[in-house]
Amino acid sequence: MTVGTPADAALRQAQRCLHDIARRVDLNAFVVVDDAGALDDARRASTSSSPGWLTGVPIAVKQNLWVRSLPCTAGSRILEGLTAPRDATVVARLRSAGGMIVGLTNMDELGMGGSTELGTAGPTRHPTVPGRVVGGSSGGSAAAVAAGLVPVALGPDTGGSIRQPAAFCGVVGPRPTWGRVSRHGLVAFASALDTVGPLSTTVAAAAATLQTIAGRDPHDATTSRLPVGDLVAATSRAPAGLVVGRVRPHVRIDPEIEIAIDRAAARLAAAGARIVEAELPHAAHGLSAYLVLASADASSNLARFDGVRYGRRAAGADDLDDLVRRSRAEGFGPEVQRRVLIGTYVLSEGYTDAYHTQAARVRTLIIRDYQAAFDGCDVLLGPTTPEPAFLAKSRLADPLAMYRADEFTVGPSLAGLPAISVPGGRTQAGLPIGVQLVAPWWREATLLTAAAAVETEPLRSSLGPAAGTTG
């Protein structure tokens, strides 16, 4: 191996990244750093005969995805001591494409939360705006990208866990169509809504990552066989001819976010898109429906954590019931217990019709809203969140206030649609603003074309030794 070859570059890239991560432990973005694994990946990347977009790219993974032989606790005491038996499909695909997995990122316990203050590792600190939250639940991934530690990090998104922290930290965050990306090796939160996607410096990096992880997986029967298409190429296509529906917000949003959406619309129009008005008449009911449906799913998914089969087991129990009760009381934090209680309640006999069935009906209305909107346009444009990043600790005592950050992200989640948060500038106080685009099912390519046109000042990206030579 000679100095300066791409082979060498991967190893140096990994070393530099590990060094950078060590220098920013103050952020608490990473909960595990895998020096040995990253260097192994670097060596493998350097022998790759066909370097691609992700060859030698350092990648962080949210700690609710399996990374072979690393802990997988999803930020919960209930899973303490659990080690991932193998790589999640998405992680395996990234490694095969030459990506280097450098570590696991912080999150809200089991994906429930919007500030990355609710996991066992404590809060992640905002890399550019001290005193503000990074968003959640994929806040560690968002902070790692925003701080320039990695160009790409993975974060599942159930109701907004990729898009909301991406908006709060000023990075790119797409959620794919439900069924587009494998969830094999993901600790499930709400299976009807869970998706896996990247948080990244640029739209192009997001496209390269999505393209690598997307597609049918024999280990996940919910994945689609539909072709993924050339997502990287889609990011350099002009949005000329696209009809963009600007959605009227259903709740009050920060005026500076409104201005950012104006700017995004102007950029799309300047690039040849046509802007029209769009409406989602039932959007105001999205958050309630989401909380009922996601909590119902969560309560049945989390029923397997009983202190018997795996995870935390309480000591000193009198009998089996006591063991289960104590293990869960010790293992689940207050927000998770709240969701389990809501979920069990809305599924219980006598209440399903009033709550769960009703929420499912609302979900259908929301799906129809999107179908009607997409009759008149190709993508929808609106805010990712009603406000920029809020103050640290400010919503811990008020769960409903915490949930309100998800007002605009839960709609696409309920409908299973692909959506992306793109940086749309900053407020006068310097807080990042996210602009959300939503596309019809399976139209990630259209979504990314529009997103690339909205993207203003992409963060410095370093996409591998092959950057600039492929795609």
**Cβ 157 to ligand GLN shortest distance, Å:** 5
The residue to which tokens 């895998």 are assigned: 34
Write the single-letter amino acid at 171: V
434 binds ligand GLN per the rule CB under 6 A: no
> Residue 361 and residue 14: Cα distance in Å, rounded?
49
Site membership for ligand GLN, residue 168 (CB under 6 A): no
Count residues binding ligand GLN (CB under 6 A): 13
Stretch that binds ligand GLN, among 13-21, 85-93, 159-167, 224-232 (CB under 6 A): 159-167
Is there binding between residue 189 and ligand GLN (CB under 6 A)? yes
Under rule CB under 6 A, residue 176 binds ligand GLN? no
Footprint (CB under 6 A) of ligand GLN, residues 374-403: none
348 is catalytic: no
User: Interface with ligand GLN includes 158 (CB under 6 A)?
Assistant: yes
Q: Which CB sits closer to ligand GLN, 74 or 203?
A: 74
Per the annotation, the verdict on 393 as an active-site residue is no
Q: Is 114 in the site for ligand GLN (CB under 6 A)?
A: yes
| N-terminal to C-terminal alpha carbon distance within the chain | 26
- Pick between residue 114 and residue 127 the one whose CB is nearest to ligand GLN: 114
- Tell me which DSSP letter residue 426 carries: E
Q: Which of 76, 161, 182, 461 is catalytic?
A: 161
Q: Residue 112 or residue 419: which is nearer to ligand GLN going by CB? A: 112
- Could you tell me which stretch among 27-35, 151-159, 204-212, 380-388 binds ligand GLN (CB under 6 A)? 151-159
295 is catalytic: no
Burial class for 243, CB neighbours closer than 10 Å (0-12, 13-18, 19+)? middle
**Phi, psi (5° rounding) for residue 67?**
-125, 115
Q: How far apart are CA 237 and CA 166, in angstroms?
A: 23
Return the structure tokens found at 153. Answer: 């990090």
Q: Are 64 and 194 in contact (CB under 8 A)?
A: no
Residue 111 interacts with ligand GLN (CB under 6 A)? yes
Q: Which residues of 71-87 are buried (b: 16+ CB within 10 A; e: fewer)?
A: bbbbbbbbbeebebeeb
Q: What's the gap between Cα 421 and its chain centre? A: 10
- What is the signed CA dihedral for 168, 170, 172, 178, rounded to 10 degrees? 0
Confirm or reject binding of residue 418 to ligand GLN (CB under 6 A). Answer: no
Residue (297 or 306) nearer to ligand GLN, CB: 297
Candidates 36-44, 90-98, 157-165, 414-422: pick the segment binding ligand GLN (CB under 6 A): 157-165
52 binds ligand GLN (CB under 6 A): no
| Paired strand residues for 382 | 436
Annotated catalytic residue within 62, 115, 138, 182: 62
Q: Which listed residue (57, 61, 97, 112) binds ligand GLN by CB under 6 A?
A: 112
The catalytically annotated residue of 48, 115, 137, 461 is 137
| Nearest residue to ligand GLN on Cβ basis | 161
Instruction: Give whichever of 301 and 449 is closer to ligand GLN, judged by the CB atom.
Output: 301
Check: CB of residue 88 under 8 Å from CB of residue 94.
Answer: no
- Listing DSSP states for 269-318 in one string gives HHTT-EEEEE--TTGGGHHHHHHHHHHHHHHHHGGG-SSSSSS---SS-S
How large is the angle between the packed helices 320-331 and 334-347, nearest 10 degrees?
A: 130
Least distance to ligand GLN, CB of residue 385, Å = 10
Among 105, 137, 182, 301, binds ligand GLN (CB under 6 A): 137
Q: Number of H helices and number of E strands within the chain?
A: 15, 11
Stretch that binds ligand GLN, among 155-163, 212-220, 270-278, 302-310 (CB under 6 A): 155-163
Return residues touching ligand GLN (CB under 6 A): 111-114, 137, 157-161, 189, 294, 406
Active-site residue numbers? 62, 137, 161
